[in-house]
Amino acid sequence: MKEQLEAQAREAVEAVPGVTEVDLTMTAQVRERPNPADTLPNVRQIIAVASGKGGVGKSTVTVNLAVALAEQGARVGLMDADVYGPSIPMMTGTSGQYPLTQDAKIIPIERFGIKLMSLGYLLQEGQAPLWRGPMVAGTVKQLLSDVKWGELDYLIVDLPPGTGDAPMTLAQQVPLTGVVIVTTPHNVASNIAGSSAALFRRLNTPVLGVVENMGAMVLPNGETMRVFAGRSGDELAVELGVPYLGSVPLDPDVSYAGDAGEPVLKTRPDSASARAFRSIAGEIARQASVVAVSRNQNLSQDPSELNFVPSSES
């Protein structure tokens, strides 16, 4: 959209009689979510990434979306709220690093221009937290309030799979801009993803849309092949009545890159997967702006029924 606006503005100014040269600079401002939390007053948008079940590549999607937003110049933070299986340190190549503290606040680890925080940075390698529900909820609160996030346009939160304490605590403690649901073309995954969307709606958190991971594979000859034949992401989005944000093709390089601690946007920036992540990140930013505008206008309808802008791929 930015390129379209720039072209239209340039064309309009050049059409003015007497104009011989146009020097155009485009800027942008991320719209602030309504009623920001006292604990995070300098974070404009807080977006959670959720899935119904594990194994759908939710953390992989989260990391690459954060990188895509940062590449566009946004100030981005990434919080790993999966206290039982924190994977963000490994996927960002920051395993073994330990954050410092300043003024009784934890200083996030930084890489790829992103501020990172995970319980994985605070545990010894191989250590497993044996925690019940209240401790999980308390840890999520601390990762939000005890970290020096600073000024951010987006705080992306990688939630654990399911509908347990971590997502409920986040939705109840922080005014989320919205949640992104990640699914794969499997009926089991999409069914449980629907339950996750229902949870957030009950907690009055808007569902920004559905991302399909492991979609149609791009073959070397340029053709595509659908490997999994279950319910697709766009079909799930229609059933839920939310935008379809896009599909990430099934690509072994995405997995290899994550295991190596280098997101595919960095290792293969021109690949079909990287282009898909950039497109999806743009759609998420757009839907987040729609939610912020709608809520700031004090619309009377339930947040889960906001009139979202349709995805360009719908």
Q: What pLDDT was estimated at residue 266?
A: 95
DSSP state of 250: P
Q: What pLDDT was estimated at residue 310?
A: 45
Closest C-alpha to 77, from 96, 57, 99: 99
Q: What pLDDT was estimated at residue 4?
A: 85
Mean per-residue pLDDT of the chain: 85
* pLDDT value at 312 more than 50: no
User: How many alpha carbons lie under 13 Å from residue 176 in its C-beta half-sphere?
Assistant: 28
Q: Parallel, antiparallel, or unpaired: how do β-strands 101-102 and 105-106 relate?
A: antiparallel
The string of DSSP letters for 5-53 reads HHHHHHHHHHTSTT-----------PPPPSS--TT-TTEEEEEEEE-SS
* pLDDT value at 282 more than 60: yes
Q: Whole-angstrom Cα distance, residue 271 to residue 209?
A: 23
Domains of the chain: 30-305 (3.40.50.300)
Q: In the chain, helix, strand, coil percent, each to 5? A: 40, 20, 45
Tokens standing for residue 150:
């600073």
Q: Whole-angstrom Cα distance, residue 303 to residue 34?
A: 12
Q: What pLDDT was estimated at residue 296?
A: 64
Closest C-alpha to 288, from 79, 58, 49: 49
Q: What pLDDT was estimated at residue 300?
A: 42
* pLDDT value at 306 more than 50: no
pTM of the model: 0.81
Per cent of the chain over pLDDT 90 is: 49
Q: What is the mean pLDDT of residues 131-147?
A: 76
Q: Is 138 exposed, middle or buried (0-12, 13-18, 19+ CB in 10 A)?
A: middle
Helix, strand or coil, per DSSP, at residue 309: coil
Q: What is the mean pLDDT of residues 68-78?
A: 95
Rounded to a whole number, what is the distance in angstroms from the first to the last CA of the chain? 17
pLDDT tens digits, one per residue of 103-114: 889 999 999 999
43-47, 94-98, 133-137, 308-312, range with the lowest pLDDT: 308-312
* pLDDT value at 40 more than 90: no
Q: What pLDDT was estimated at residue 303?
A: 44
Is-contact 58 157, C-beta < 8 A? no
Tokens standing for residue 309:
């802008």
Closest C-alpha to 63, from 291, 272, 255, 206: 255
pLDDT tens digits, one per residue of 206-265: 999 999 999 988 888 878 888 887 888 999 999 999 999 999 999 999 999 999 999 999
